[in-house]
Structure 1
Amino acid sequence: MRLYITAAAFLFLVTPWLQAETIHVVTEQTPYTGVRDGKVVGAATKVVELTLNRAELKDYRINLYPWARAYDMAMHQPNVLIFLIARTPEREALFKWTGEVTNVQYHLYKLKSRTDIQPKDVQDARRYNIGVLRNDVRHQYLTSQGFTRLVVSATSRDNFHKLLNNQIQLVPMTDGDAAAECEQSRFDCSQLEKLLTLDRMNAPLYIAYSLQTPDETVERTRKAFLQLKAEGVVDKILGTH
């Protein structure tokens, strides 16, 4: 029995996979991401770059936006990779989840000088003005829990400055967020006070794709990320951010 292979089939077998579209990588300002000399940098950014290069997805552009814009792009446009995005039950069907980069815990912070602000527990914190980022997981979570005195900002920097200017009383942040905001604002972090832990917001932060992204792109990225994770590369990078 002879096996015949057409020229088209032969080319399919020997031609390497070609990336069809540019991947638009979006993120926000965090302790793991930032801008230096006009380039998006940071520990999480390095993880994403290594992952895409390992996946042989070389055609990508990384941009830093206010969270609401980055989130909207990932919700409505094809070939968008967003990081770091909290994976929650409410978001499960909205994105193609690729890999867990890290896990964070949020706390409610206030200015130490505001001795009048003393919520007994998280539910008691409802009576204070709390600063959040538009469409951020903290915004979505607190809204779902019936918090109505939420003051929405476009960026973490704006949110933190509202705290410093007494426009809000509380801000949910990770310890890393607090340290980064103090450094950027040249504010003495010892003048912040961590009041309460949002126990139900122990959030895994992921790399994820928009739903309109081809499955093959997602799978190549997922496979590459898992390889880097297994090799200890991801934890090593995040440990030095």
Structure 2
Amino acid sequence: MSILTIFRYLVLACLYITPVVYAKHSVTIYTEQFPPYNFSNKGYLEGINLRFVRAMCVDADIECKFILLPWSRAYHLAQEEPMAGLVSTARIPDREPLFNWVGPMASSRNYFYRLKSNPQVNPRDLSEVKDYTLGVVRDSIYEQFVENIGFENEQNLLKFSHYYECINLFFKGKLDLIIGSELSFHYQLMQYGYAGQEVVKLIELPLNDTTGNFLALNKNMPKEIVEQFQTSYQKLMKQGKLDKLINEYLVNQH
């Protein structure tokens, strides 16, 4: 047997014993500017729920790419792309058939707020809030709710792509009311140079059909990937990962 023949056999043997390397699953996770749950801090994406999902990706050995977009755009892309998800997404009956749901994660109660300098804006209950002007983000859970209780588009209700547009007009006195999550509103005000003492908490939104914030995965995502996320979620919850993140951000808030 020639040296050349022996070399060929060796090459073939190496090919047969070379281990097969499988590529990781790759998922795009869309998110929005919604502190402290998910937000951009000097170009770096962080937040309670975003960091929890990032930990889930690591635990499940899934390659996750996080992209920050306006809510409405992120919401629609997560429905269009089979290998996409969205965090943080409120789980409500109308959205139930649109996604595979992993959660719940961190969330808090929601209220109407007014400026402390506008004492004339003083609804006594939910039936009176529609007597004032309000701004909401398109496709948010608030949009349908406020329309159901009597707000009318382009009359006493203005809709925006970005929450900061609501905040801007609210502090200029162009909107009587604004809606905020009890935990996140403080963070959102801080981003625009406010301390939180400028506002007064009024009436809670009874979002009784909302079961909290979730990771919403595209309905056509392969079942095994969804199950990997679910398994990692349960594992990290048992380890207390979410509670640790919530406590970290609550400490920073104070």
Same fold (TM > 0.5):
yes
Return closer, same or farther for 1:100/1:155 CA change in 2, 3 Å cut-off. same
Match of 2:248 in 1: 240
Match of 1:46 in 2: 51
Match of 1:183 in 2: 190
Residues in 2 aligned to 1:228 and 1:15: alpha-carbon distance in whole angstroms = 30
Match of 1:115 in 2: 119
Tell me the amino acid that sits aligned with residue 166 of structure 1. Answer: G
Is 1:105–1:203's contact at 8 Å kept on the other side of the alignment? no
User: How much is the aligned-residue C-alpha RMSD, in angstroms?
Assistant: 2.0
Is 1:103–1:203's contact at 8 Å kept on the other side of the alignment? no
Residues in 1 aligned to 2:20 and 2:227: alpha-carbon distance in whole angstroms = 19
* Structure 2 gap ranges (5+): 1-18, 250-254
Alignment of 1:59-138 (within 5 A): 60-138=64-142
Match of 2:165 in 1: 158
Residues in 1 aligned to 2:57 and 2:189: alpha-carbon distance in whole angstroms = 32
Q: CA deviation at 1:150?
A: 1.8
* Structure 1 gap ranges (5+): 1-13
Is 1:131–1:170's contact at 8 Å kept on the other side of the alignment? yes
Q: CA deviation at 1:40?
A: 1.2
Residues in 2 aligned to 1:220 and 1:15: alpha-carbon distance in whole angstroms = 21
Q: CA deviation at 1:134?
A: 0.8
Residues in 2 aligned to 1:187 and 1:99: alpha-carbon distance in whole angstroms = 32
Match of 2:227 in 1: 219
Residues in 2 aligned to 1:187 and 1:103: alpha-carbon distance in whole angstroms = 22
Residues in 2 aligned to 1:222 and 1:16: alpha-carbon distance in whole angstroms = 25
Residues in 1 aligned to 2:211 and 2:167: alpha-carbon distance in whole angstroms = 21
Q: Does 1:26 align with 2:33?
A: no
Q: Which has the larger radius of gyration?
A: 2
Q: CA deviation at 1:212?
A: 2.0
Percentage of identical aligned residues: 24
Residues in 1 aligned to 2:42 and 2:106: alpha-carbon distance in whole angstroms = 26
Return closer, same or farther for 1:118/1:75 CA change in 2, 3 Å cut-off. same
Q: CA deviation at 1:18?
A: 4.8
Is 2:189–2:196's contact at 8 Å kept on the other side of the alignment? yes
Match of 2:216 in 1: 208
Residues in 2 aligned to 1:190 and 1:36: alpha-carbon distance in whole angstroms = 23
